[in-house]
Structure 1
Amino acid sequence: MKLLLTSAGVTNPSIHDALLDLLGRPIGDSTALCIPTAQYGHPMVDPAMTWRFISGTSDLAMCGLGWKSVGVLELTALPSIGQERWVPWVREADALLVAGGDAGYLSHWMRQSGLADLLPSLHDTVWVGLSAGSMVLTPRVGSAFVQWESPAGDEALGVVDFSICPHVNGEGRPGNTMAEAQVWAAGLPNPGYVIDDETAITVVDGSVDVVSEGRWALLDAAS
């Protein structure tokens, strides 16, 4: 897969351009499936917020970017309908738009649904993660971000070898502080990217790049 791991969606021209590069075509010529599942695992998310994400009317720029088409892939439904139905939907999509919420809940349902097992075969698909939708692909999310008590604790899918602390937007702004991020990083066995809402990380064929019009840092507790 090609990964665009964001804190708050496609928030600026640099992240928008990175998305276009990963797609290899205009957004208006690309199809997407949105995955809202993580939202149901977070106590601060209500049904209205989920609808705004799906409908593209949220302040978080994901589903409302002008896609050729957008469908909804709810992971909790997939085990009951059979892979012969939903796997073709995923394979035909150009992008998966993955909402924020609780990364542990999302990780659990990615495993239960079978989507986690499918990821290695999706070579040309672009994964566009937002907050927990980005964190779910990391080895560990860190205990500070655990809201739903996952059987796996704070372990996620380990598609990449670094963790992500999103929404580090500075003192006096909504989100996390750098001091909190440093405590988070100290509890990890692997490096962690600290990113604000104007920053994203791209991963293509194992090559990691940071796209930012804001602030970010790479912290390694072992160094």
Structure 2
Amino acid sequence: MKLLLTSGGVNNKSIHEALVNMLDKPIAECNALCIPTAMYGHPWVGPGVKAWEFISGREENPMVNLGWKSVGVLELTALPSIDKERWVPLVQEADVLLVSGGDALYLYHWMQQSGVAELLPTLRAVYVGMSAGSMVMTPKIGEEFVGWTPPTGEDKALGFVNFSIFPHVDHEMLPDNTMAAAEQWAAALQGPAYAINDDTAIKVIDGEVEVISEGHWKQF
């Protein structure tokens, strides 16, 4: 699997170059699918205008608006009602999946319900997550990030990587997201973890981890 796990999208030249290097052809030749599902589960971001801004590439965080050859929408909540023959080939043919922020556990639930979670390890597409879209790939998110409560009541996620992520460190609009708070969060997790700001991403290719940053971050 090729994963680019960001806090705030493809925010700077270093993260952009990392993404280009992970693709097997230029961005202008790549077909993307964007996944807005996480937004619907978060009271600050969706549903409504912010979901539309993500899908249309109108939001400030660079993801959909990077110059892809084409961009389609993959809405996970709709997939259980559609025959797999109609959507699985589209996912298999995509060059990149662009997964929005929002609520990580809501996204985890619908990745499982839709069948996308099972499909992910078999795909050639580069997976680009933002915030919750990155956190969903981890073993667990920590109680501090639990918003929407899943049927299991647990804070576990997909576990495709062996570390957890604390995004948006020292973000001006998130005063509680300090590095000190991240240290407390990490201590409670009792497992590997990273705290990253919006100018940082974590690249994972076949299990090999590399931090890409023009900002600040910390490994716990």
% same residue: 62
1:208 aligns with 209
CA distance in structure 2 between the aligned counterparts of 1:5 and 1:151, rounded to whole angstroms: 26
Shift of 1:174: 2.5
Which runs of no fewer than 5 residues in structure 1 stay unpaired?
Answer: none
Shift of 1:3: 0.2
After TM superposition, list the pairs within 5 Å mapping 1:84-99 onto structure 2. Answer: 84-99=85-100
CA distance in structure 2 between the aligned counterparts of 1:213 and 1:25, rounded to whole angstroms: 24
Letter in 1 for 2:53: R
CA distance in structure 1 between the aligned counterparts of 2:217 and 2:9, rounded to whole angstroms: 15
After TM superposition, list the pairs within 5 Å mapping 1:1-223 onto structure 2. Answer: 1-46=1-46, 47-122=48-123, 124-152=124-152, 153-169=154-170, 173-175=172-174, 176-219=177-220
CA distance in structure 2 between the aligned counterparts of 1:90 and 1:143, rounded to whole angstroms: 32
Letter in 1 for 2:74: L
**Off by >2 Å, runs of 4+ in structure 1:** none
RMSD: 0.9
TM-score normalized by structure 1? 0.95
Letter in 1 for 2:18: A
Shift of 1:24: 2.4
Shift of 1:26: 1.1
CA distance in structure 1 between the aligned counterparts of 2:212 and 2:129, rounded to whole angstroms: 14
Shift of 1:23: 0.6
* Range 133-142 or range 180-189, more displaced: 180-189
TM-score normalized by structure 2? 0.96
Letter in 2 for 1:146: V
> Could you list the per-position Cα deviations for residues 56-99 of structure 1 after superposition, in whole angstroms to 9, with x for gaps in the alignment?
01001000000000000000000000211110010010000000
Match of 1:10, SS state, is coil
Match of 2:210, SS state, is strand
Which runs of no fewer than 5 residues in structure 2 stay unpaired?
Answer: none
Paired residues, number: 216
